[in-house]
Amino acid sequence: MGKTLKCIVVDDDPMTQRIMEGLIDRTEGLERLSSFNNAIDASNFLHHEQVDLIFLDVEMPEMTGLDFVETLQRKPAVVLVTGQEKYAVPAFDLDVTDYIIKPVDYTRFLRAVNRVKDLEAPVEMSKEANLNAKLFVKVDAQLVGIRISDIVLVEALADYVRILAGDKKYTVYSSMKGISAKLPDRHFMRVHRSYIVNLDRIDSIDDNTLMVNGNMVPVGVTYQKDLMGRLNIL
């Protein structure tokens, strides 16, 4: 039996809040700690409580759900629960784990929970794994093995990621957080909210841009200092 996930609900709609509370309480492996009708109270709660999973509305007064996610320093898994599909792209840019459109049914809720559990589960492959090891991704109905050393970069595409490995590209249903958990930290680094790169494949750096195996990749301001610290600079 896996780890029990400690959850909170953040939603200013009382009916949705009650529905989410009921779904959590019915689901084995979830523990509901509290519920909030605004992001500010939820943020204060996170300062003194360990939370593994947040079920979060987007449109709320004072602070939106997306703004709230951006403030999180130790980010739990986040499942957005909203009535608007238009927030999907900015949500996945912020590495939310899943995105549920209201009204929420139990089947869709359980799919989101299982995805969180899959990402939280211990990774079979060591984070410092041999670069000759393979990462298996689902392509159509097959699992295709990609040699880790061949991975040049990973790019976020809404609720998918695109993996560039050699001269091939693979589009996989995953978050950046999920794919990052599978790659060895020693060789891979996130350099932008939408890009992870293989440090061994960096050709050059020019201002806020990397050339990675001939591909131009932007470097986010918040990642620049860490990146320069990781490079072997003479």
Check whether residue 69 and residue 162 sit in a common domain: no
Q: Which residue has the tokens 């360990």?
A: 50
Give 104's DSSP letter. Answer: P
Q: Of 13-22, 23-32, 135-144, where does mean pLDDT reach its minimum?
A: 135-144
| Number of domains forming the structure of the chain | 2
Mean pLDDT computed over 223-229: 85
- In a domain, residue 113? The reply is yes
Check whether residue 32 and residue 103 sit in a common domain: yes
Per-residue confidence (pLDDT) for residue 233, from 0 to 100: 75
Per-residue confidence (pLDDT) for residue 208, from 0 to 100: 87
What is the Cα–Cα distance from 149 to 130, expressed in whole angstroms? 9
Per-residue confidence (pLDDT) for residue 209, from 0 to 100: 92
Check whether residue 116 and residue 151 sit in a common domain: no
- In a domain, residue 129? The reply is no
Helix (H/G/I), strand (E/B), else coil: 145: strand
What is the Cα–Cα distance from 34 to 100, expressed in whole angstroms? 20
Per-residue confidence (pLDDT) for residue 110, from 0 to 100: 94
Check whether residue 116 and residue 9 sit in a common domain: yes
Mean pLDDT computed over 28-56: 94
Mean pLDDT computed over 100-115: 92
Q: Domain of 200: which CATH number?
A: 2.40.50.1020
Check whether residue 90 and residue 157 sit in a common domain: no
Per-residue confidence (pLDDT) for residue 125, from 0 to 100: 44
Check whether residue 139 and residue 116 sit in a common domain: no
Residue where one domain finishes, among candidates 93, 120, 147: 120
208 contacts 219 by C-beta, under 8 angstroms: yes
Check whether residue 71 and residue 102 sit in a common domain: yes
Question: Above 90 in pLDDT, residue 228?
Answer: no
Which structural domain range is residue 66 located in?
5-120
Residue 130 pLDDT level (bands cut at 50, 70, 90): low
Q: Which residue has the tokens 């131009």?
A: 216
Check whether residue 36 and residue 13 sit in a common domain: yes
- In a domain, residue 105? The reply is yes
Helix (H/G/I), strand (E/B), else coil: 79: strand
72-to-128, 164, 170 alpha-carbon distances in Å: 27, 29, 30
Check whether residue 86 and residue 182 sit in a common domain: no
A 10 A CB-CB count for 33 gives: 15
Per-residue confidence (pLDDT) for residue 234, from 0 to 100: 61
157 contacts 171 by C-beta, under 8 angstroms: yes
Check whether residue 192 and residue 222 sit in a common domain: yes
